Amino acid sequence: MADLPRFTQGNFGNLQWHHLNQVFDVIERSPVPMERKRDPQESSFVYAKLTGEGITAPGGKKYSWVEIELDWITNESSERDGGRRSGTATDPFQVPALGISGSEAYQIGDVVLLRLESFPNGKRFALVIKPTGSDVKMFRIIGAASIAAARWRYTGIIAGLDTDSWVDRGTQQYTLYNGCENAVDFGNTIGVGTVKPGSAQAVRRPIRDDTIVQAVYIDGAWCFSIPNGYSFACA
């Protein structure tokens, strides 16, 4: 939104020029995007989904977002009809979401809790309080892509228990990394410390699809740590 005008003289009945300036100050400091009217009972806290990423002037990250509604039974979210958002299609960062330090990295599609705030200069932003829900989740591995020798980047879907079976909780796909793969095989010692027999050739394999892993969200990524499988061939 463009800056509103300011006046130095004039009046309309009992309404003086400085009254208008005060009103415009309040409007420009309003933490709610002006694309929609605000319900007087509406909270400054917003459940939102991150929809895009940009770079702030100091080199940090900013995110565009839309307000969502959560279904606590299915764990699914949907955009709220008439809800708040960070901006427009042509200017999505009018009210960007920022981490507390400005350098936090989140994933597009993350559901977060925001608090709408204003800088002293009146510019508005949405402070990311924390990712909603737990920072530890169960995932079902659905794919792997090689990123280095004996290392892979995995794709997973959030999973949960239904009686005695694992079921998908939604369809959103997440990127995961296996910390065990940072260990380099050498000599007869492979994986997390397995000693292979004799001169057999061992080849590390990616985690198999449909494996259920527990992952923690850290430094902007989901990470788990379980030993890989191997294939062996006689030398």
pLDDT in tens, 126-142: 988 865 555 788 999 99
Please give the Cα distance from 34 to 5 (Å, whole number): 16
With bands split at pLDDT 50, 70 and 90, how would you rate the model's confidence at 28? low
14 part of a folded domain: no
With 0-12 / 13-18 / 19 or more C-beta atoms within 10 angstroms meaning exposed / middle / buried, residue 135 is: exposed
The most confident of 4-13, 15-24, 49-58, by mean pLDDT: 49-58
7 part of a folded domain: no
Among 131, 161, 194, residue at a domain's last position: 131
81 part of a folded domain: yes
* Domain co-membership, 205 together with 225: yes
> Residue 85 has what DSSP assignment?
B
DSSP 145-204: EEEETTEEEEEEEEEEEETTEEEEEEEEEEEEEEGGGGSPPBTTEETTTEE--TT-EEEE
Residues with Cβ < 8 Å from 123, sequence gap 6 or more? none
Among 100, 131, 162, residue at a domain's last position: 131
* Domain co-membership, 110 together with 171: no
Mean pLDDT of the 32-49 span: 62
Task: Report the number of distinct structural domains present in the chain.
Answer: 2
Please give the Cα distance from 175 to 31 (Å, whole number): 33
pLDDT, tens digit, 9 for 90 and up, residues 148-205: 888 899 999 989 888 889 999 888 888 999 999 888 887 778 878 787 777 778 888 9
With bands split at pLDDT 50, 70 and 90, how would you rate the model's confidence at 90? confident
Residue 48 reports pLDDT greater than 70: yes
Range of 81's domain? 33-131
* Domain co-membership, 120 together with 204: no
pTM: 0.49
Mean pLDDT of the 9-33 span: 63
With bands split at pLDDT 50, 70 and 90, how would you rate the model's confidence at 37? very low
Q: What does residue 115 show for φ and ψ, rounded to 5 degrees?
A: -125, 125
With bands split at pLDDT 50, 70 and 90, how would you rate the model's confidence at 103? low
Among 78, 111, 131, residue at a domain's last position: 131
Please give the Cα distance from 44 to 38 (Å, whole number): 10
Please give the Cα distance from 28 to 22 (Å, whole number): 10
pLDDT, tens digit, 9 for 90 and up, residues 61-76: 788 999 998 776 666 6
* Domain co-membership, 108 together with 193: no
CB neighbourhood size of 114 (10 A): 25
Count CA atoms within 13 Å of residue 230 on its CB side.
Answer: 20
* % of the chain residues with pLDDT over 90: 19
